[in-house]
């Protein structure tokens, strides 16, 4: 994921969480007032939280799609290097598993 996408997502999350925090503060301030107003403020805060969750879900899906497209492009452009990277990752994983099993069988 590019730095721009990451920064944009982070800013969107920060803005949205600020809105949620404001709503929750309003709800907290109103709890001393009439119960109906407090209930409405808490309802608004809950709606903000739902909006934040939906926005984050959409951004995560979009970002994942972008990363998948970019990975596909890189694999098509550099198949040998991609294969070498995949084999290196598998070798590292196998080595980690072997080291883990070895340490379990030979406790010091």
The total domain count for the chain is: 2
pLDDT in tens, 14-23: 777 777 777 7
pLDDT in tens, 59-84: 888 888 888 889 899 889 999 998 99
Whether residues 13 and 57 share a domain: the answer is yes
CA distances from 25 to 32, 35, 61 (A): 12, 16, 30
Range of the domain at 73: 3-77
What angle is formed at CA 95 by the lines to CA 94 and CA 98, rounded to 5 degrees?
A: 85
Compute CA 39 distance to the chain's CA centroid, rounded to the nearest angstrom. Answer: 31
Q: Which residue has the tokens 């119960």?
A: 35
Q: If residue 17 lies in a helix (H) or strand (E), which one and from where to where?
A: helix 3-30
Whether residues 88 and 63 share a domain: the answer is no
């Amino acid at each position: 994921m590019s730095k721009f996408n990451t920064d944009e997502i982070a800013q969107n999350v920060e803005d949205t969480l600020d809105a949620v925090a404001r709503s929750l503060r309003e709800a907290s301030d109103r709890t001393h007032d009439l119960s109906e107003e407090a209930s409405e403020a808490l309802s608004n805060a809950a709606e903000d939280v739902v909006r934040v969750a939906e926005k984050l879900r959409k951004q995560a899906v979009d970002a994942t799609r972008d990363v998948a497209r970019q990975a596909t492009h890189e694999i098509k452009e550099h198949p040998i290097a991609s294969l070498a990277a995949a084999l290196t990752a598998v070798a590292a994983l196998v080595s980690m598993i072997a080291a883990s099993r070895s340490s379990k069988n030979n406790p010091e």
